[in-house]
Chain A
Amino acid sequence: MDYIIETKGLTKKYGEFTAVDSLNLQVEPGEIFGILGPNGAGKTTTILMLLGLTEPSSGEVNVMGFDPSRQPLSVKSQAGYIPDQVGFYDDLTARENLAYIARLNGIPRLESDQRIERALGKVGLSDVGSKPVGTFSRGMRQRLGVADVLIKQPRLIIMDEPTQGLDPELVRGFLDLTRELAEEGITILISSHLLHQVQEICDRVGLFHRGRMVLQGTVAELARNVLGAGYHVRLRANGKAGNFAEDLRRIAGVVDVKYQAPDSYTLVAAEDLRSEAARAIVEAGGQLLSLDIESLSLDDIYNAYFEEVNHGPRGQ
């Protein structure tokens, strides 16, 4: 398998401080890979090294077959970068901003006009393309940032905290757009500290903590590894003196049952046990009031993982 991004023992030190610590990262062509973790975990530094914008202290980087610190031009002509809070020249129009980028990429005039129109169309900014970017809202700027990287027709797009500061609806739209790009065969690397926002579009994620990538894989894999069980079933039931915790615990496959509030329980299990849980309640003579399954949350995985790291393994 040829990886589109591969690093071996990649390390970046600022004086005594180690921003990125022997990182081994592999990103496959065509996937959406999420670099997730809190602020200061080394995500941006990693990205800058991938683009040759910062020199690694040690280790190897290979992006699309090139070494970013030796062949930055080859890497940067095929990789688009949307920085954290992407900035534009406010006095220039959206088209002028993109035209400058096209010229820096050495794209001929005629060709660049076509690409600009196509990119603006793709992100839905065609009708405001001739307005100064200074008048754009946060969400429009973010979309213009996407149009900006599309100009060079990249194989790889790297986005740093793309959803930060957007309201939920805009986040939704932005993630859909990202998905579309991935379906066109562009590999996408997203960094974010808002785990729950990006987890659903990432094929695989890497969780970062203090410069190290501590977990890597699909969200389901991580859940299985860290939480031991991947499914949380939440149910409410009444109609019995005492509670149903014992009845629920008897279901095969249940890892844990939490009595959260009167009539409210959470069931942790390795598989989806909703129907079994319902049957157990009914058989115990109770009335089932509600039953639903919680989607897996990366935040939970992350928190659970660090609880484990910091306080020793939980008794399971």
Chain B
Amino acid sequence: MVQEVNKSPKQSREGSPWKGLGAVIAKEMADHLTSARMRILEILIILTAAGTSYAALQKLVGSGSQNEFLYLELFTTAREPLPAFVGFLAFLVPLVAISLVFDAINGEFNQRTLSRVLSQPIYRDALLLGKFLGAFATLALVLTAIWLLVFGVGLIGLGVPPTGQEVARILLFLLVTVIYGGFWTALGLWFSTRFRQPATAALGSIAVWLFFTAFWEILVSLFAQGLRPIQYGLLEEVLARAKLEMFLSRISPNTLFVESTIALLKPAVRSLGLVLPFDLQGAILGAPLPVSQSLLMIWPHITGLLAVTIMIFALAYVSFQRQEIRV
């Protein structure tokens, strides 16, 4: 809590900030899992999973692919007009996350339940973290369910069991997806403490999502063109622009997610950055990397996603702790 300079600064506040956390998480998850909102999302998600994996399956079986990582292709193969499963997730996960939390705090305000809940012997910390973890766990549950669904479709459709490598990679893929969802959950939660109207919070979160999904790439190339103009067509110029573009583009959590999934699901990818011909000296093209090496490649991405998630949660925390609860 925001403590003012008061008579006994040594004395810290009593008890654990996590008292009641379990109760809040349980209530939040129960609410989410039974809500009409969740039903709609579930239908959307199951359609996506079934649709994309079926489409991918058709294409894989039809092409007689020789790839040794058939299972992974199930996630990344697209058949027009549908995007691949990963592509779908990149924009579906934020939507699900936002729709779970956009009214988390302001909803309690508007229902006038906040002061009643906070007059119980718990701290605000427990309420906010409980809201976050409740939504996060729901999201993880849903994603795991879809993941299992696609996995099952693969088992039936492909008729071959996945190798240990593949299982490890798609498990990591699930983990990265959940972390990506965590970022949007934190963002939605922050907006729900900042804006008193749930509609404003939802719109704000969706605006951020739209910004990164649709406009960021355009802005990035505009910036890159403006800041690193190619005047003479030199290699250095081209490189400098590409580097700047990459740097800017990785500010977007979407880019971090998509690059991570590419590294995980396409074992042959050995760099997410620029690859110059001399980098490839001695490399066996098309040879897959071990899981640990792919993971190493996206380690900064995961760290970045986690860091920005924690940062945004901290913003939500500060804004919530400072809020006057009177209606």
Contact = CB atoms under 8 A, between A and B. Distances in A.
Instruction: Tell whether A pairs with B.
Output: yes
Interface of A: 44-45, 48, 51, 53-55, 57, 69-74, 76-77, 79-91, 100-101, 103-106, 145, 148, 152
Given A83-B116, A85-B112, A90-B111, A55 B121 contact: no
Interface in B1-28: 1-4, 6, 8, 11, 13-15, 19-20, 22-24, 26-27
Contacts of A53: 115, 118-119, 325
B23 A55 contact: no
A79 B324 CA distance: 20
A70 B11 contact: yes
Contacts of A104: 20, 23-24, 117, 120-122
B113 interface: yes
A161 B11 CA distance: 34
B250 to A, nearest CB: 41
A152 B116 CA distance: 13
B116 to A, nearest CB: 6
Contact of B326 (A44, A69, A101): A44
Contact of A55 (B3, B114, B116): B3
B325 A87 contact: no
Given A55-B3, A104-B23, A73 B121 contact: yes
A83 B14 contact: no
Nearest to A54: B324
Most buried by B among A82, A83, A101, A104: A104
* 3 A-B pairs with least C-beta separation: A87-B112, A103-B23, A81-B119
Contacts of A81: 115-116, 119
Contacts of B14: 70-74
Max chain A Cβ within 10 angstroms of own Cβ: one of B23, B123, B327: B23
Contact of B111 (A89, A103, A152): A89
A288 to B, nearest CB: 53
Interface in B101-139: 111-123
Nearest to A87: B112
B23 A148 contact: no
A117 B13 CA distance: 34
Contacts of A85: 112, 327
Contacts of B324: 54
Given A72-B13, A76-B121, A77-B121, A55 B4 contact: yes
Given A57-B4, A76-B120, A105-B121, 8 more contacts: A53-B115, A73-B15, A74-B121, A83-B119, A87-B116, A88-B116, A89-B31, A103-B23
A261 to B, nearest CB: 45
Contact of B26 (A45, A72, A103, A106): A103
A55 B2 contact: yes
A190 B6 CA distance: 29
9 contacts: A53-B119, A70-B14, A72-B13, A73-B15, A81-B115, A87-B113, A90-B111, A91-B31, A104-B121
